[in-house]
Every structure is written in C-alpha cells, then in structure tokens.
Amino acid sequence: MGRIEEKCVFFADDESLLDTRRMGVLADLIRKAGIEKRYFLYGRSDTVAKHPDLIEQWKKVGLERVFVGLEFMRDADLKLLRKGSTAENNKTAVKVLRSLGIDIRLYLAMHFLEGRSFRHFARGTGRSSWRKEHE
C-alpha cells in the first residue's frame, strides 16, 4: 500500500471492520510502515460501538470518514430488518466517531414499514431532539 501513489484509500467492503482482529493488525502494520494516507470505510454501528479502541487505532493511522448504516433509530424498526443492532448501538457509534473527530456519513432507511408515513418516521426518529442531543 505504501507504493501506491494515491493518497486516499477506500475500503469498499460493506463491513470493513467485521474482522476486528485483522483490521487491528492491518492498522498496526500501516503504522509501523509509516504509510501516510487518508482512509475511508464502511462500518456497522454495533461494530463501531463495541470496538471504540479499534476506531481510535485507525484514526491514528489516518481514518477520516466512516459510512455507517443506522437504518432506523427505533429498536422495533431495527428488529424488523433483523439487523442485529440497536438504537443504543447507533447512538454510541455516533458518539465514538464524533469524539474522535471522524467524519460520519449516515445511511438511513426510507422504507416506510407497516404503511407508516414519512411524518411517522420523522417523529419516531426524534430527528430534531436526537440531533440536538448528539451534536
């Protein structure tokens, strides 16, 4: 990777952090080799929430942006998607990334479950109050 002239590396796997051990080893190898690049990756909110030390390790070697699928902000909706994550994981992931100064690109599901309207979706996320609470 050090020989590649490009300064930006995008890990395009839809869950780059899934193998946390492997990603920790890779970050350590990058650090030891002195490779200076800008890194971007996809990550699940539950992985980010459960492994803040790994995210911090990647921040130290150049992680700038994480694309994270929160999908929904209510457990009931997340359960319907069988995502295996929770609203609390979503909140924690956002806090972890923000605390490290990592740019966050969120993915939210706009599929209206059980005939719900957009207004119901917006109320359920508490879009205004949730945003204020996490800024």
Residues near 70 by Cβ (< 8 Å), separated by ≥ 6?
45, 90, 93, 94, 106, 107, 108
52-61 vs 20-33: helix crossing angle, rounded to 10: 30
| pLDDT interval class at 100 (50, 70, 90) | very high
Residues 6+ apart with CB under 8 A from 95: 134
Contact 16, 40 (CB under 8 A): no
Q: How far apart are CA 42 and CA 47, in angstroms?
A: 11
In this predicted structure, what is the pLDDT of residue 35?
96
**Structural domain boundaries in the chain:** 8-133
Closest of 44, 50, 49, 41 to residue 98, by C-alpha = 49
3 pLDDT higher than 70: yes
What would the pLDDT profile of 11-68 be if each residue is shown by its tens digit? Answer: 988 788 989 999 999 999 999 999 999 999 999 999 999 999 999 999 999 999 999 9
